[in-house]
Structure 1
């Protein structure tokens, strides 16, 4: 990655073809660490997915131009096409996503947790310099492995859901928000649910004195550390939860984002809210019956089957991130900050936080005594990251985007596969094209319902501490990691993303209204404004 300063970024095509900006996952320029580490495991994992499902694409390539993420499809060699055709014919016949969903639950997820915990058990501050360099490399390699795993399971997460949408729209003519509402409850982690979270809430609800202790007038970080070490059921439950969620990023994928334990105030508020607020009852069974009633009778058995398969795959949608690279990224950040504190203490960094803007080779070299990059250079990279957003980057580089191939020209099973995949990806990245009207901002309805609240503009981790109970999150985009903070929110509004984006999924799972893909709500709605979010209509109205 080229050295970045706070100067105006430049944009040249990184190679032949058409390159598309990914503002959904990377709304700000990334760190040098991420730009070096991410492209290879991403391409490998995407290629794993394409081969498993018989997708007629070799992989997707990503690169970073002035820190911004651009991607293009790597075409499949013609000689590999017949094998992909044969494999695609097995996708729906054998329901291949079931194999991967089972592998995820029984093998990959528990193995990932075990690997995370082994790395997490090591205190980077207790290591010597040579040991810390080795630990940084270990965290880097683990992070890359988890990114490949995340991408390898993409097809399972989206293909059956996309196939359900294709058919259910044809049969009912209903909106995407209505149909995707039937997924609620299939991705529990998206709503923050986990055995550790459930045990935490149950333990504190059963012990009013322990719950009162969470309100102590004490520094939030010190309070959580003290309470988690108490030899009581609540202490054990709190410790288990913090061991599970404490080092996961609160938002984003890059190590420029904070992990939960770095934001103890907002983490404590979210824990209190989860304990105090009753769970939201899901009306999904009633909604399924309502939608099913609009399906022609001759298609109802098929509707039932497609919905069941979609929910099976959807269960992996956010878990593959939360249990893979979201956690691994937090552990890499923790290791880097350990190095950063060491370097800052010796005067070799202006701020320990600046270390995350070095690549892994630079981190290791600095720990080993190197003098470059200089403190000023890393401070400049930090400034660049906080100066620009994806709105400063062109949507396309290189050749004009080509329209997707006509599925009718593909063999029928592959055509069905690509229709499902294309629909799902469209619903993940699409933004609304509807014009705004005065104080009414239009986007895509992602999660049904209407709520009013104070818009809280979140541009980065530094804004998390400002989130209060009942606020409406206003941001460029979110990831599945944001589920830790959901108990504090009354609604979610984003600039980027469609009805299958992470923001849409987490809002549905937690049962709060969501409007996504507004393009520019963050620019049109002032921080602190009172707004009404209508997830059915896909509108956000500024009230005052």
Structure 2
């Protein structure tokens, strides 16, 4: 036969002939699994029909314009005689009723399932009905949902075709779906079953309620089951299907008993092993036997996660545990190696800074302060003795704020702390990592981390200067100067240069230069982020770009990374910085290439002009006493305003070299068979890394990653122990609200004024940056200077952690977008893609779908 191939003659390599569904069913048939007999009307038949009907050009034109309904209307001609004759002949080998299923070439793929995009017809009887069902399957290649799905995946409409699977109908008394890995938790050791009475199409479409079971892979033990009240079932009628009430005695009865669930799970395990990847399987049961009617890869399977922790007890209830200061830059659970290295490093840095400021080495004693983890999250732990010592030392330390000249905190940061940090990084970077032993690499990484935490502690002494100067000026202005309708206090502190603004300007200037080279713009806009990064690393130009232009662009981009690529998204050394992975920057660069965003130089100049005009106007109307106080306090606040951002931007100076050293260790561990990927080194402890002889630890890494993912699903309390007087006494000083927030309105700190209603985009880190679209509300746990590139696209900012002087607040005001910070729960309470109203004046975020305002 020319157009028909039996399922037994097909396999996974026949995608172009049989489509995804047909190829997979052929593979299952070859594997000896219980697949109903049938055949595939190949894609050649579809192409022959389109050619005979003369509708090919019209299909492509309408599909390219998004007119899917117009495409389907083209499929009116009868099936050509030659194809119809083959169908009638092949049909005689099957039972009286058949199932007719669409099988597109862009379907059931490893990276895109396209599930439910095309049509299926059950209980098809007679040749005429079969021919109509086949033609309708062909037309369903062009449903609105199928066309939109392919557009999102970048699939050319001229390249797709559709085969049709025809199988003997299984008159099922029960059916459902089976996932050979848990699609919710990602657990690979669990098989999840959904079962209902009747045929399976209603289960797949979600039209009926199902029993849900979780079966332990390997043993077949049923770990859990939920039996539904199943009111409706889909049945064959002899002329199609219809929904009918489930008999009363069956409604609450389990569809599958434990033995059947075990048997079905065993089939799922065989299927997964045959395909070599977790599968989404459709099954049916008739006369006590199971049939497999479809299998496709699970394309959106989350990584395995352990159960989220619920116990927040601490080892020492007499100590005070708080998430503040450096912990604000650690929003996620810590990776094991970083947790091991940073604890002692932070303690040593505190000892050093108090020793320098007060000339005493006994302020922070052994055991007074530490940075342990609770459920993976970092907390400052202060013993009672340590808290008492720090409290007594706070007044003399506060006096350091008043020092001037070479003894001031600003001079200490600029002339000592920063140069010492730069020198430490340069010294470490001068040693080729390839020539260092494993122990030297670990020791060198620890020394660099010590240099980083020491610098961060120095930065923390700058922050009170910025906080106090802005707070005093704001209070004076709002109470004694501002008139109704006057500019907010923040107006007088905007338009100054800072490291994040310089980084933004550098990227914008690169985009401006690029826009003068159309071929380069076209190449960067068309290419995926991954392919652009690969081209940068391979030092080879994309198609259509000459080598000289590409080299100059790469040189300019690398220069940007050399100056700004050390900014951290998260202080945990397991998180890549832009110098390691520039992919997150490319989304913003494309945004600029498309004409998005404001020129940062112009925006800064306009802000400075508004600032100066407002300053002149206010000073002119004040009496001499208030004018003098206004000018003096304003000079103080303006001199300190950019310091915080400049200081914080360089915290990660050591991170590129630190990560280079540790990833060299990781590469050696891969070569020794200890782990699978270089980045797995961050999930080991020092003793495990240096073990001699090496011990394979891939299973340990996988287990720790799963625990980390479970921990990341919870919101850590700001203060521990829970319910202690510590929690009540310090709650108001913390960078996020305490406890959960329920209801449609989340409250935080209004840190930048204005109101915006838009789509929320919840970003967990740099890997998610590409999901932000212009006009989205940026929702994140925190933002650091490395997040600044996203502010050009965002319409508002919402964070879990932060206050009026955090990075999010300062940059949001520079960009003129609303910000609500310190909600504690935004990333967990706001669904990604939800419509929200951000009110920076009131400090609220309203989930419009929940309050009925959407």
Under a length normalisation based on structure 1, what TM-score does the superposition of the two structures give? 0.77
| Conserved 8 A contact 2:763-2:778 | yes
Q: Secondary structure at the match of 1:316?
A: helix
Instruction: Say whether residues 1:268 and 2:592 are aligned partners.
Output: no
Tell me the CA shift for residue 391 of structure 1: 1.5
2:701 to 378, 390, 410: 378
Tell me the CA shift for residue 214 of structure 1: 2.9
Provide the residue aligned with 2:643 in structure 1: 316
Tell me the CA shift for residue 30 of structure 1: 0.8
Q: Secondary structure at the match of 2:804?
A: coil
| Conserved 8 A contact 2:753-2:818 | yes
Provide the residue aligned with 1:138 in structure 2: 444
| Conserved 8 A contact 2:756-2:837 | yes
Pick which of 329-338 and 226-235 moved more.
226-235
Q: Secondary structure at the match of 1:140?
A: helix
List alignment gaps of at least 5 residues for structure 1.
405-421
Provide the residue aligned with 1:217 in structure 2: 527
CA distance in 1, matches of 2:742, 2:490: 24
Provide the residue aligned with 1:448 in structure 2: 753
Tell me the CA shift for residue 72 of structure 1: 4.3
Instruction: Say whether residues 1:18 and 2:342 are aligned partners.
Output: no
List per-residue Cα deviations over 1:54-88 (Å, max 9, x = no partner): 6999456432234222224534659986xx76675
Q: Secondary structure at the match of 1:489?
A: coil
Pick which of 230-239 and 456-465 moved more.
230-239
List alignment gaps of at least 5 residues for structure 2.
1-304, 542-546, 849-853
| Conserved 8 A contact 1:429-1:496 | yes
| Conserved 8 A contact 1:248-1:328 | no
List per-residue Cα deviations over 1:313-364 (Å, max 9, x = no partner): 332313333213x23234333433333344335532144433212234543x
CA distance in 2, matches of 1:162, 1:211: 46
Q: 1:141–1:230: structure 2 CA closer, same or farther, 3 Å change rule?
A: farther
Instruction: Say whether residues 1:159 and 2:486 are aligned partners.
Output: no
Provide the residue aligned with 1:188 in structure 2: 498
Q: 1:511–1:110: structure 2 CA closer, same or farther, 3 Å change rule?
A: farther
Instruction: Say whether residues 1:31 and 2:335 are aligned partners.
Output: yes
List per-residue Cα deviations over 1:465-524 (Å, max 9, x = no partner): 322333222122223332244333332111222212232233234443211112322233
Under a length normalisation based on structure 2, what TM-score does the superposition of the two structures give? 0.52
| Conserved 8 A contact 1:14-1:65 | no
2:346 to 20, 42, 63: 42
| Conserved 8 A contact 1:248-1:331 | no
CA distance in 1, matches of 2:579, 2:519: 24
Pick which of 290-299 and 515-524 moved more.
290-299
Provide the residue aligned with 1:400 in structure 2: 725
List per-residue Cα deviations over 1:243-271 (Å, max 9, x = no partner): 2334543x111023232255544321122
Tell me the CA shift for residue 49 of structure 1: 4.8
Instruction: Say whether residues 1:357 and 2:357 are aligned partners.
Output: no
| Conserved 8 A contact 1:446-1:499 | yes
CA distance in 1, matches of 2:470, 2:509: 34
CA distance in 2, matches of 1:115, 1:303: 42
CA distance in 1, matches of 2:521, 2:432: 30
**Alignment size in residue pairs:** 508
**Aligned ranges 1:18-417 → 2 under 5 Å:** 18-22=320-324, 24-50=328-354, 58=363, 61-73=370-382, 74-75=386-387, 77=389, 88-89=398-399, 91-92=401-402, 94-95=403-404, 99-105=408-414, 108-109=417-418, 112-113=421-422, 116=425, 119=428, 127=434, 130-131=436-437, 133-166=439-472, 168-170=474-476, 172-173=478-479, 178-180=488-490, 182-186=492-496, 188-191=498-501, 193=503, 197=507, 200-201=510-511, 203-204=513-514, 210-217=520-527, 219-225=531-537, 226=539, 234-249=553-568, 251-260=569-578, 263-274=581-592, 276=595, 277=597, 278-279=599-600, 280=603, 281-282=606-607, 283-286=610-613, 298-324=625-651, 326-363=652-689, 365=690, 369-371=693-695, 374-389=697-712, 391-393=715-717, 395-397=719-721, 400-401=725-726
| Conserved 8 A contact 1:475-1:493 | yes
